[in-house]
Amino acid sequence: MIKPNWDDFHAILLKNKIPQNQQSFYVKRIETFLRFLHNSDLKNHSGSDISNPSNIKAENVSDFLLEIDRKTEMSSWQFRQVLHALKLFLISLCHLPWAKDFDWNYWQDAAIKLADNHATVARDYTEIPVKSPLTSQTPSKALSASQQALFNSLIYILRAGNYAIRTEQTYADWVFRFFQFHATVDGDELGDEHVKRYLEYLAVERRVASSTQAVVLNSLVFLFRKVLDRDLDVKGFRLATKARKLPVVLTTDEIRALLTQMDGLYGLLAGLQYGTGMRLMELIRLRVQDIDVGYQQIVIRNAKGNKDRLVPLPQCYQQQLIDQIAFVSHQHEIDLEHGNGEVYLPDALSRKLPNAAKALGWQYLFPASRHSVDPRSGAVRRHHIHESSLQKKIKQAATNANLLKRVSSHTLRHSFATHLLENGYDIRTVQELLGHADVSTTMIYTHVLNKPGLSVRSPADLI
């Protein structure tokens, strides 16, 4: 068994400003790792002597992290402490070359567990809410019996129509707030004037954006048309003028500078979003079976509007995707060996295909580094990584690349569309790749075809 020089390790901990009262925990984390190496059969499989630190491999670390996630109920901060201890031990004490390139970011940032009301899993968890679905705040006044009945009907109609869970959450939230605003009014007595009064309150007192006003109006139109079975007349109310904003687009040099600042899994994710134009959640929710290397394409299933579409598989990321599938396969094999390996399946697929939840093809291509426990059934599942982790990485990369533009993950999608038009692709092709229902939505990117800033010479240059 490896016998590290603990004095040297303590010196490394001091150099990295680890508080004295935490150093013993760092040592215990490494001792647990070394016991794992000693007790495992890695020595028999590899034929190497695990008493020599140089024989520790990257897969040993991955297997150990999977093992502690399975056997222990660690909090997020404890898991991060394990990662930090391993990083200092392998890089600074053992001086293993591969340890610097190990994807520590994946194991740390992909450990964020999905909330119970996350869009990926909410349909399984969400019952008819008695409080605001999005804010999860207990109302100051309970809904009246008639309002609660209408609210229940709204949820049933949304689910019967197979509306997206995010649509359900948004509509339910605004209808709930509308009922709360008119708490003293019986549900069947609500009419056009009540809607106008609420919209005016949001516009004047709350000063919500024009886009928010439009969402609220859509929610209430749905309530009146589908639940109350009557049309809503709000002609006397005028929505705020929606600002016409051009999308933030990066040049190819700026894209290159941004992607240079990212590596590992998050470098692959950012590169794929730029290379395919996928929406953030479309990318995060990809399954292993959605990657078609043979036809050089990626299948996006159940996208916005419940539509499937195809996008090109960038050749520059093909090998990384193959490696990612191999990683998921290895991770999945270990999960299956220990009685896990189940993944979330949408709608009724889990009943139609009872074995699919543990099939490799249905596993998320970008899985979380830790399991999550279903709060209702107790089933242990491995969900996809949380979308916020990629968003944070992109913003940090933009800062590191000294980009002055306001960069988000959606900026990569904007840049994809704009650069395709610059390269001569027609608007209909770009519309299909982006998954837009109407070409007018795609037309916003045609600003690149008419560049007044370049075609018009400033009069200041003529002085």
Q: Which residues are catalytic?
A: 279, 304, 410, 413, 436, 445
Which residues 6+ apart lie within 8 Å of 355 measured at CB? none
On whether the CB atoms of residues 383 and 121 are closer than 8 A, the answer is yes
Q: Which of 129, 108, 41, 44 is nearest to 265 (CA)?
A: 108
Q: Which amino acid is at 457?
A: R
Task: Identify residue 425 by its one-letter amino acid code.
Answer: Y
Amino acid at 126: T
| Letter string b/e over residues 33-53, b meaning 16 or more CB atoms within 10 A of that residue's CB | bbebbeeeebeeeeeeebeeb
Q: Which helix (H) or strand (E) holds 267?
A: helix 264-276
Phi/psi region, residue 386 (left: phi>0; alpha: psi -120 to 50; beta: rest), is: beta
CA dist., res. 321 & res. 317, Å (int): 6
User: What's the rounded Cα separation, in Å, for the pair 282 and 177?
Assistant: 30
Amino acid sitting at position 7: D
- The three-class DSSP label of residue 8 is helix
